[in-house]
Amino acid sequence: MKQYLKHNDWQIIEEGFDPHYNRISESIFSLGNGRMGQRANFEEAYSGDTHQGTYVAGVYYPDKTRVGWWKNGYPEYFAKVLNAPAWTGIQIKIGKNELDLKKCKVSGFKRILDMKQGLLHRSFTATLPDGKKVKVDAKRFCSMADGEIGAIRYSITPINFSANATITFSVDADVVNKDSNYDEKFWNEISKEAKAGLAVVTAETKKTLFHVTTAITYAMHSAGKVVRGRVKANKKDKYADNVVTIPLKKEVETVIYKYAAILSSENHPKKKIQENAKKKLKDASLKGFDKLFSAHASVWAEIWRKCDITIEGDIAAQQGIRFNIFQLMQTYTGEDQRLNIGPKGFTGEKYGGSTYWDTEAYCLPFYLGTSDPKVGRNLLVYRHKHLQRAIENAQKLGFNKGAALYPMVTMNGEECHNEWEITFEEIHRNGAIAFAIYDYVRYTGDEKYLSEFGLEVLIGISRFWSQRITYSNAKQQYVMLGVTGPNEYENNVNNNWYTSYIACWTMEYTQHALDYVRRHDAAKFSKLMAAIKFEEKEETTRWADIRKKMYLGEDKKLGIYLQQDNFLDKELIPVKDLRHEDRPLNQKWSWDRILRSCYIKQADVLQGLYLFDDQFDNETIKRNFDFYEPLTVHESSLSPCVHVILASKIGYKEKAYEMYLRTSRLDLDDYNNDTEDGCHITSMAGTWMSVVKGFGGMRVKDGMLHFNPFIPDQWKSYSFRIEFRGHVINVKVSKTGVEMVRESGAPMQVVLNGTLTNV
Ligand code: BGC
């Protein structure tokens, strides 16, 4: 855990430059706008330790999987989110010396992420090796108002000298991915152009052939006048720039603006992309930094109006939740059905920018609660579009008759996971995708979704479960062998309770969906049944039989569900007794030792009790929580939020608060010692759920919102805003009670602490 960032309700603040923390800060201070984003790399050159990263949504590369022992069923490739052409570079040379914080004495360094306005702000004073001192103040943003525009305002003031400086405005497509399996570069050059006031590079990804055009221009001002300088335009392989020589005068500020247009062939025809980029760039530079920024800041103002959560009396908690909402909204804005939410968003390469079960199990509720229902629908339709691929994926593994196995990790519907041996048996992901359909329909009331897309997906998934589950003669029950539950610190176990439970639930819900669509849309029903060759009687009879005779491990004496067969044979030493030096286990222990241990990476049985909490009483939840939580290391970012929600439900207030800080400040305080790889974007939705579903106790039952709020002792009050079926309500919980105000929509009723209440 590291706590070098200052607490502030709207800003993330780093004071003083510690190069050891640079990669962590590069992740935390990342910027994005749903279409593109980047790590908080410096504009000027930096020869110290850094992880350079610029990303464009939907642009990826299928890097050939690197495994020693190839087995049938392994994915051919691992999708990599591409480190895309860098547009932020403003390299500065004064006399013979480059402005490079690694080579300068740095004082007054401050980096601020202004979350209210989506602005990255950095200031410092640097003393160059020859004693020249300069003051720098740099601001930049990725426009939320126009997802293809980025802008920088970089001011430089000489403190003790006057001299000429050369400023290089670059576009660099000669970039690498740190996670490249074969040290290969992933971009080819298509074209480049450099002339005074303009540099443009169009690059193409190998294999996937996406085009990205990055065009930049700039302007400079000093003492109220435009500075033009001597310009040299240069080109080299995958690179274009303008090098401008200007005089810097002692104590006079020169303000440099750099504008960039970043366009991808996902949104522009390849033939037109350069022309479009240049036009966009021109329009943006004519508007200028201030106008672009004010349009961008108004989008943020609207986002905060809709999504903000306020917490009074606890600034660390307040900063934490805003940081999570900020990063989430920078990553996915919900407009584009082709896009999804990568676990690291635009903050790093890890997890390849791909789609995981995280979207359905964690992100969906956030978007349902804060956005137009079409955002949640888009996330669901994304999976419907991949259904055929999921069926092919299951076929590759030996299943048939329309059984669908969604990939653990995907870009386009195909499985593309690197650590295949760990994750291929994590078939519980199929359950999360089915549950998301239920969750969406339960929340929005949009049952038509079942006829349109939902039922077809549910049948594919149920068909998979029914083939994957086998009958044990010894037990005279159905079993599910060789799976990996959400807890990845166990592989290839038998009868993982969570997976078996969600499988049975899926078959039950699919039956409900079948009945619903047959009743409400007979024509669609018959058409779909014929198209997918559904043998209703035979298939649903087997589902019902499985549900009746499924083995779900339980220890009656302890009153708990068994995470998997033989879990109780393990040496059960609670996490609190582990040595500090052994944590995090995944960085300190061998894989073999982890697998044999009792330590649980993330909620597993508890994941099931969280999703289906209306099917279990509080005593049961308590017993399982008391047994499993002490063995849980929470080394997945997805873990603490589930524990906040359950702990809140069973009245473990202190535990809920402890877990809340962990989820909301996971990256800010680098709990798992891995923030340098990027932020944990998908779990950030879990932080929102921790407040709304955890402390606020919000649930949807029978088409109504229910709340059972409590307030952590450390807080004076907290409030959140909920969109629900055309109504918007603001909920404020304080020490003295709960206030609910309807912001828009017709009067409604909610159930507050069990009592019907008008809002
Ligand atoms: C977790 C998975 C998760 C993945 C991406 C892993 O550490 O164990 O459950 O899907 O991260 O967030």
Q: How many whole angstroms separate alpha carbon 561 and alpha carbon 553?
A: 6
Q: Please identify, by atom number, the ligand 1 atom nearest to the C-alpha of residue 429.
A: 10
Average pLDDT, the chain: 96
Q: How many whole angstroms separate alpha carbon 207 and alpha carbon 417?
A: 18
- 362 CB near ligand 1 (under 6 Å): no
Q: How much distance in Å is there from the Cα of 705 to the middle of ligand 1?
A: 30
Q: Quick check: 672 pLDDT over 90? A: no
Q: Please identify, by atom number, the ligand 1 atom nearest to the C-alpha of residue 426.
A: 9
Measured in degrees and rounded to the nearest 5, phi and psi for residue 685 equal -65, -30
Q: How many whole angstroms separate alpha carbon 202 and alpha carbon 211?
A: 7
The average pLDDT across 510-535 equals 97
**Every domain of the chain and the residues it spans:** 75-307, 372-569+579-595
At residue 196, the 3 state secondary structure works out as coil
- 491 CB near ligand 1 (under 6 Å): no
**% of the chain at pLDDT higher than 70:** 100
Q: Please identify, by atom number, the ligand 1 atom nearest to the C-alpha of residue 602.
A: 8
The average pLDDT across 222-236 equals 95
Q: How many whole angstroms separate alpha carbon 464 and alpha carbon 403?
A: 4
Q: How much distance in Å is there from the Cα of 601 to the middle of ligand 1?
A: 10
Q: Please identify, by atom number, the ligand 1 atom nearest to the C-alpha of residue 343.
A: 12
Q: How much distance in Å is there from the Cα of 484 to the middle of ligand 1?
A: 12
Q: How much distance in Å is there from the Cα of 189 to the middle of ligand 1?
A: 35
Number of alpha carbons in the 13 Å side-chain half-sphere of residue 750 = 28
Q: Quick check: 352 pLDDT over 90? A: no
Distance of CA 274 to CAs 77, 191, 194, Å? 30, 9, 13
Positive/negative CA dihedral, 644, 649, 652, 653: positive
Reported as a pLDDT band with limits 50, 70 and 90, residue 67 is confident
Positive/negative CA dihedral, 529, 535, 537, 541: negative
Residue of 78, 587, 636 to test ligand 1 pocket, by largest number of atoms within 8 Å of CB: 636
- 715 CB near ligand 1 (under 6 Å): no
Nearest residue (by CA) to ligand 1, atom 3, is 358
- 682 CB near ligand 1 (under 6 Å): yes
Residue of 78, 356, 635 to test ligand 1 pocket, by largest number of atoms within 8 Å of CB: 356
**pLDDT tens by residue, 135-177:** 999 999 999 999 999 999 999 999 999 999 999 999 999 999 9
SS (H, E, C) 608-664: HHHHCHHHCCHHHHHHHHHHHHHHECCCCCCHHHHHHHHHHHCCCHHHHHHHHHHHH
Phi-psi category of 650—alpha, beta or left, where left has phi over 0 and alpha has psi -120 to 50? Answer: alpha
By annotation, the residues acting in catalysis are 488
Q: Considering only the top CATH level, what class is 372-569+579-595?
A: mainly alpha
Q: How much distance in Å is there from the Cα of 683 to the middle of ligand 1?
A: 9
The average pLDDT across 734-749 equals 97
- Residue 273 DSSP code: H
Q: Return the minimum-mean-pLDDT range out of 4-13, 342-351, 441-450, 472-481.
A: 342-351
Q: How many whole angstroms separate alpha carbon 644 and alpha carbon 683?
A: 13
| H or E segment to which residue 106 belongs | strand 105-114
Q: Please identify, by atom number, the ligand 1 atom nearest to the C-alpha of residue 351.
A: 5
The average pLDDT across 395-417 equals 94
Q: Considering only the top CATH level, what class is 75-307?
A: mainly beta
- 636 CB near ligand 1 (under 6 Å): yes
**% of the chain at pLDDT higher than 90:** 93
Higher pLDDT, 68 or 391: 391
**pLDDT tens by residue, 300-324:** 999 999 999 999 999 999 999 999 9
Contact 336, 699 (CB under 8 A): no
pLDDT computed for residue 43 by the predictor = 98
Q: Quick check: 412 pLDDT over 80? A: yes
Q: One fold for both 75-307 and 372-569+579-595? A: no
pLDDT computed for residue 285 by the predictor = 98
Q: How much distance in Å is there from the Cα of 412 to the middle of ligand 1?
A: 19
**Is-cis flag, bond preceding 630, omega within 30?**
no
The average pLDDT across 106-127 equals 98
Nearest residue (by CA) to ligand 1, atom 1, is 636
Nearest residue (by CA) to ligand 1, atom 11, is 636
Q: Quick check: 294 pLDDT over 70? A: yes
Number of alpha carbons in the 13 Å side-chain half-sphere of residue 393 = 28
Contact 358, 638 (CB under 8 A): yes
Residue of 328, 496, 591, 638 to test ligand 1 pocket, by largest number of atoms within 8 Å of CB: 638
- 488 CB near ligand 1 (under 6 Å): yes
Q: Please identify, by atom number, the ligand 1 atom nearest to the C-alpha of residue 635.
A: 7
At residue 682, the 3 state secondary structure works out as helix
At residue 693, the 3 state secondary structure works out as helix
Residue of 363, 433, 488, 600 to test ligand 1 pocket, by largest number of atoms within 8 Å of CB: 488
Q: How many whole angstroms separate alpha carbon 169 and alpha carbon 216?
A: 8
Q: Return the minimum-mean-pLDDT range out of 342-351, 394-403, 481-490, 702-711.
A: 342-351
Higher pLDDT, 81 or 215: 215
- Nearest C-alpha neighbor of 38 from the set 260, 351, 346, 350: 346
Q: Please identify, by atom number, the ligand 1 atom nearest to the C-alpha of residue 488.
A: 8
Q: How many whole angstroms separate alpha carbon 115 and alpha carbon 317?
A: 15
Q: Quick check: 420 pLDDT over 70? A: no
- Nearest C-alpha neighbor of 757 from the set 704, 709, 686: 704
β-partners of residue 376 are: none
Reported as a pLDDT band with limits 50, 70 and 90, residue 179 is confident
Q: Please identify, by atom number, the ligand 1 atom nearest to the C-alpha of residue 636.
A: 7
Q: Quick check: 68 pLDDT over 80? A: no
- 638 CB near ligand 1 (under 6 Å): yes
Q: Quick check: 74 pLDDT over 90? A: no
Q: How much distance in Å is there from the Cα of 682 to the middle of ligand 1?
A: 9
- 465 CB near ligand 1 (under 6 Å): no
- Nearest C-alpha neighbor of 38 from the set 56, 11, 62, 50: 56
- 402 CB near ligand 1 (under 6 Å): no
Q: How many whole angstroms separate alpha carbon 723 and alpha carbon 179?
A: 40
- 602 CB near ligand 1 (under 6 Å): yes
- 343 CB near ligand 1 (under 6 Å): yes
Positive/negative CA dihedral, 278, 284, 288, 289: negative
Whose structure tokens read 């799976």?
483
- 351 CB near ligand 1 (under 6 Å): yes
Q: How much distance in Å is there from the Cα of 215 to the middle of ligand 1?
A: 36
Q: Please identify, by atom number, the ligand 1 atom nearest to the C-alpha of residue 357.
A: 10
Q: Quick check: 419 pLDDT over 90? A: no
Q: How much distance in Å is there from the Cα of 636 to the middle of ligand 1?
A: 6
| H or E segment to which residue 358 belongs | helix 358-358
| H or E segment to which residue 366 belongs | helix 364-370
Q: Which long-range contacts (CB under 8 A, 24 or more apart) does 286-294 make?
A: 288/219, 288/257, 289/151, 289/153, 289/257, 289/259, 292/143, 292/145, 292/146, 292/149, 292/151, 292/259, 293/117, 293/119, 293/141, 293/151
The average pLDDT across 166-194 equals 94
Structure tokens at 734: 């304080």
Positive/negative CA dihedral, 24, 640, 326, 445: positive
Structure tokens at 271: 């033939």
- 604 CB near ligand 1 (under 6 Å): no
Residue 721: exposed, middle, or buried by beta-carbon count in 10 A (0-12, 13-18, 19+)? Answer: buried
Residue 604 sits at the vertex; the CA angle it makes with 629 and 459, to the nearest 5 degrees, is 160
- 431 CB near ligand 1 (under 6 Å): no
- 357 CB near ligand 1 (under 6 Å): yes
- 356 CB near ligand 1 (under 6 Å): yes
| H or E segment to which residue 387 belongs | helix 387-396
